[in-house]
Amino acid sequence: MAFTGETNDVNLADLLSVLARRLHSGRLAISLEGEEIQLFLDQGRIVAVSSSKHEMRIGRTLVRLGILDPARLEAAVWEQEESGTKRPLGEILFQSGWVTRAELARAAEGSALRR
């Protein structure tokens, strides 16, 4: 199923809430002025986020929100690069016990809504 619409018509937080309640899986792409954020959902939960805008990336958002220490972010990025598997950064941070799924979702929502 595909959704297309303007955020003037649909509040992003409300849309994420609906997708979570309905346990949707897939990719939600948000475009604005040539930039794009992609939220990846699994059973209604945000499991990964990517952005074309460097400062909007999940790691930096977690640090900016005070959820993650910059040294831990650096360690997770190093692990991501060294593993060669390109595991999502959020997955590495979660599996390391440095962030919760709720904190990842909060950071993803904050990134998307911050615009």
CA quadruple 65, 67, 70, 74: dihedral positive or negative? negative
* pTM, to two decimals: 0.52
Per-residue pLDDT of the chain (115 residues), as tens digits, is: 666 666 666 677 788 888 889 999 988 888 777 777 788 888 988 877 776 665 457 888 899 899 999 999 989 888 887 877 677 888 889 999 999 988 988 887 765 544 4
Residue 41 lies in a domain: yes
Give the CA angle between residues 78, 95, 27 to the nearest 5°.
90
Residue 3 lies in a domain: no
Instruction: Please tell me the total count of domains within the chain.
Output: 1
- Dist CA 29 CA 25 (whole Å): 13
Length of the chain: 115
Structural domain of residue 21, as residue ranges? 12-113
